[in-house]
C-alpha cells in the first residue's frame, strides 16, 4: 500500500497520474496547505522540506516501509517498483530521466515563481522578478514546443514519467499570464495526454480535494 500525502496542485497531480496509470493500491492523506499542515512536526518527519507530495510505501525495498519526498524521485521510484514506464534500454531510460530533471528544475520550479510574481503585478519592486521569471517560463515553453515538434512525447516515442511531470504545469500557464496559443506542438501533446483515462481519474482526485478544501 502506498500512503500518498497530497494536495490539489500540479506536483501532486503528477503522482496521481502515475498511481492511476500503474494501478498501485494507494491511500490518500490530504495535507491542507491553507492550514499550513505541511509544516506540522508530524508531517516534517515524513518530508523535512515541508512540502507535498510525499509517499510512504509499506512494502518498500527489503519489504520494509519506505518514505520518499520530491515528486521526481517518487515518479522514478514508482517506475522502478512496478517496472511500468521503466524501459530496460539505458538510452531510453536516461532520455526519460533527463527530461524529468529538466522539468523539475525548469517548468516545475520556475512556473510557480512566475505565478508568484504575476499575482503581485504592480507592487513596488516586483517588475524585475516578474520580467525575469516570465521570460524564463516562455523560454522553457519554447524548448518543450520544439522538442514536441520532433518527438511524439517529451522524452521519446513512448508516454513516460517525464510527460506526467510536465503535463500539469503546462495546464497552469495561465497562472503567470501565459497561454499555449503560440505552442502548437505542446497543444497537440497536451490533448494526447489529457485523453488518457488515468489523466481523467487523476483530475477527479485533485478536483475532489479542491472542493473539499473550498468547503472547509
Give the residues lining the site for ligand GSH (CB under 6 A).
7, 9-11, 33, 38, 50-53, 70-71, 108
Compute the least distance from the CB of residue 164 to ligand GSH, in Å: 12
8 Å CB contact between 193 and 170: no
3-state secondary structure at position 171: coil
Shorter beta-carbon distance to ligand GSH: residue 95 or 169:
169
Residue nearest to ligand GSH (CB): 51
Of 175, 174, 172, 168, the closest CA to residue 194 belongs to: 168
Maximum alpha-carbon separation in the chain: 54
Please list, residue by residue across 199-211, b when 16 or more beta carbons sit within 10 angstroms of its beta carbon and e when fewer do: beebbebbeebee
Shorter beta-carbon distance to ligand GSH: residue 92 or 116:
116
109 is written with which cell numbers? 520550479
Strands 26-30 and 66-69: unpaired
8 Å CB contact between 198 and 21: yes
Compute the least distance from the CB of residue 95 to ligand GSH, in Å: 20
Compute the least distance from the CB of residue 175 to ligand GSH, in Å: 12
Compute the least distance from the CB of residue 123 to ligand GSH, in Å: 20
Shorter beta-carbon distance to ligand GSH: residue 51 or 205:
51
Shorter beta-carbon distance to ligand GSH: residue 195 or 214:
214
Amino acid at each position: 500500500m502506498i500512503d500518498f500525502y497530497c494536495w490539489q496542485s500540479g506536483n501532486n497531480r503528477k503522482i496521481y497520474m502515475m498511481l492511476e496509470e500503474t494501478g498501485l493500491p494507494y491511500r490518500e492523506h490530504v495535507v491542507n496547505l491553507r492550514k499550513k499542515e505541511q509544516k506540522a512536526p508530524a508531517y516534517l518527519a515524513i518530508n523535512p522540506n515541508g512540502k507535498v507530495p510525499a509517499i510512504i510505501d509499506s512494502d518498500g525495498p527489503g519489504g520494509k516501509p519506505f518514505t520518499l519526498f520530491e515528486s521526481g524521485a517518487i515518479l522514478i521510484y514508482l517506475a522502478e517498483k512496478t517496472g511500468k514506464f521503466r524501459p530496460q534500454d539505458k538510452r531510453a531510460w536516461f532520455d526519460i530521466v533527463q527530461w524529468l530533471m529538466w522539468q523539475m528544475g525548469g517548468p516545475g520550479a520556475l512556473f510557480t515563481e512566475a505565478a508568484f510574481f504575476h499575482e503581485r503585478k504592480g507592487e513596488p519592486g516586483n517588475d524585475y522578478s516578474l520580467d525575469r521569471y516570465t521570460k524564463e517560463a516562455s523560454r522553457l515553453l519554447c524548448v518543450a514546443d520544439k522538442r514536441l515538434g520532433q518527438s511524439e512525447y517529451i522524452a521519446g516515442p513512448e508516454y513516460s514519467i517525464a510527460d506526467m511531470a510536465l503535463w500539469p504545469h503546462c495546464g497552469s500557464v495561465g497562472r503567470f499570464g501565459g497561454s499555449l496559443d503560440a505552442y502548437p506542438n505542446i497543444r497537440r501533446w497536451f490533448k494526447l495526454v489529457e485523453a488518457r483515462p488515468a489523466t481523467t481519474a487523476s483530475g477527479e482526485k485533485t478536483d475532489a480535494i479542491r472542493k473539499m478544501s473550498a468547503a472547509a
